[in-house]
């Protein structure tokens, strides 16, 4: 796996959000509906996020896991592309146990 500048990745994503160059996949839209997450919440969380995990060699293209908060303080995780002209949101969810023991730490594998 190659090393990437996560600060540059994050700056690019924030700029894509600021200029409304974001695409929501069908899967992400379904997750948003299931978890009652609005598009505004996703945009806000992406704008103040940190890169939790980077997946430069993902089989469907480089992407990363972002952790951010909504204006109401709700923690969200967002997986999105990192090397495309648009930020493609692949999935969105609220981190919960048992998969996540905190907003930034995965649970123990079973």
The count of residues in the chain is: 110
Please state whether the predicted TM-score (pTM) of the whole model is above 0.85. yes
Distance, in Å, from the CA atom of 72 to the CA atom of 87, rounded to the nearest integer, reads 23
Query: Can you give the pLDDT at residue 2?
Result: 53
Query: What's the average model confidence in pLDDT over 15-42?
Result: 97
Pairing assessment for the beta strands 22-24 and 87-93 based on DSSP bridges: parallel
How many other β-carbons are positioned within 10 Å of the β-carbon of residue 105? 10
Residue 102 pLDDT class (50, 70, 90 cuts): confident
What does the pLDDT look like over 47-69, one tens digit per residue? 999 999 999 988 889 999 999 99
Please, what is the angle between helix 39-47 and helix 6-18, to 10°?
A: 140
| Domain ranges, ordered by start, for the chain | 6-93
- 87 within 8 A of 81, measured Cβ to Cβ: yes
Select the more confidently predicted residue: 104 or 18. 18
- Strand residues in the chain grouped as ranges (E): 22-24, 50-55, 63-69, 75-81, 87-93
What does the pLDDT look like over 68-98, one tens digit per residue? 999 999 999 999 999 999 999 999 999 988 8
Query: Can you give the pLDDT at residue 1?
Result: 42
Query: What's the average model confidence in pLDDT over 18-32?
Result: 97
- 63 within 8 A of 79, measured Cβ to Cβ: yes
pLDDT of 27 > 70? The answer is yes
């Amino acid at each position: 796996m190659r090393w990437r500048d996560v600060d540059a990745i994050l700056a690019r994503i924030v700029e894509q959000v600021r200029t409304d160059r974001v695409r929501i996949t069908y899967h992400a839209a379904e997750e948003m509906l299931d978890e009652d997450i609005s598009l505004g919440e996703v945009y806000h969380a992406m704008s103040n996020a940190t890169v939790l995990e980077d997946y430069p060699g993902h089989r469907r293209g480089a992407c990363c896991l972002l952790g951010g908060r909504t204006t109401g303080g709700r923690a969200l995780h967002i997986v999105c592309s990192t090397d495309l002209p648009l930020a493609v949101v692949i999935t969105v969810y609220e981190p919960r146990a048992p998969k996540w023991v905190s907003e930034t730490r995965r649970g123990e594998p079973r």
